[in-house]
Amino acid sequence: MKRCLVTGAAAGIGRALALELSRAGFFVHGVDVDAAAGAATASELEGPSDFTIADLASDGDVARAAAELVERPPFDWVVHNAGINAVGAFARSELEPQRRVMAINLLAPLLLTAELLRAERIARGGSLVFVSSLSRFVGYPGAACYAASKDGLASYARSLSVSLAPRGIHVLTVYPGPTRTEHARRHSPPGSSEAKRMPPEELAVRIRRAVEARKRVLIPGAANRFSAALGHVAPRVAERAMKKLIFDKLPSAGPATS
């Protein structure tokens, strides 16, 4: 039986991925900070699974999770999906929530990947999946640290893919746009349309198919691909649009954080 590791597996995109891969016959190992939600997700999976409960913003928890994971058999797929946001004008933001964003979104995937590779716990011919963000192409005014963390993750994945190719390990970077999750709902500006966001179940299927096709990049959905192209050829236009859609609608009272 193939084995997959999914971080942030208790909710949102991670939960959808866990369910999708379980249906595809994988043993699912989830990592999440929420033990109750993790247990609920595990109860819905069609095959065997286990969970590591860890706060990926904590150096100690990351080290403990890594020590636990390297004791497992090698993983065929490792999906770094866990992520949080801290929304608000950066100049008014408290720095601790921003530090957590960087720790969970960027530092934890780097540290966990390093330990898994060092212990040879990513199977030869396996895949590493990094969930970045469409913000890499269009920016994210009002969530600068989130955008920085997702940019860093994408650059790391691109560089890692070159060094891992001789070992037969495939690397996919995913750039989702707005997704229909509780996390996105919590951090969206007032008046955002829920119906326009991609369901996480659809995104999970697209990610599975992209890994199976050994793609290196996935920008899911025609609208997201258009936005990414606009951000490349006309960055100022994309930036002005994002400012109008997001930053100008932020509450003046200050940031909302995860």
Q: Measured between alpha carbons, how far is 189 from 207 in angstroms, rounded to an integer?
A: 27
pTM of the entire predicted model: 0.89
Amino acid sitting at position 215: K
Give the chain's domains with CATH numbers.
3-257 (3.40.50.720)
Q: Measured between alpha carbons, how far is 243 from 150 in angstroms, rounded to an integer?
A: 18
CB atoms inside a 10 Å sphere around CB 257: 18
CB atoms inside a 10 Å sphere around CB 164: 17
Which pLDDT value is given to residue 55?
A: 98
Which pLDDT value is given to residue 186?
A: 60
Q: In this structure, what DSSP letter does residue 77 have? A: E
Buried b (16+ CB within 10 A) or exposed e, 23-53: ebebbbbbbbbbeebbeebbeebeeebebbb
CB atoms inside a 10 Å sphere around CB 190: 7
Distances from the Cα of 45 to the Cα of 26, 48, 84, 135, 139, angstroms: 10, 7, 24, 31, 35
Placement of tokens 């050829």 in the chain: 233
Which pLDDT value is given to residue 92?
A: 76
- Is-contact 25 212, C-beta < 8 A? no
Alpha helices in the chain (DSSP H): 12-23, 35-44, 59-69, 95-102, 108-118, 135-138, 144-164, 182-187, 200-212, 222-233, 235-245
Buried b (16+ CB within 10 A) or exposed e, 78-112: bbbbbbbbbbbeeeebeeebbebbbbbbbbbbebb
Which pLDDT value is given to residue 190?
A: 53
Which pLDDT value is given to residue 46?
A: 94
Task: Report, as ranges of residue numbers, the positions in the chain whose pLDDT lies below 50.
Answer: 252-258
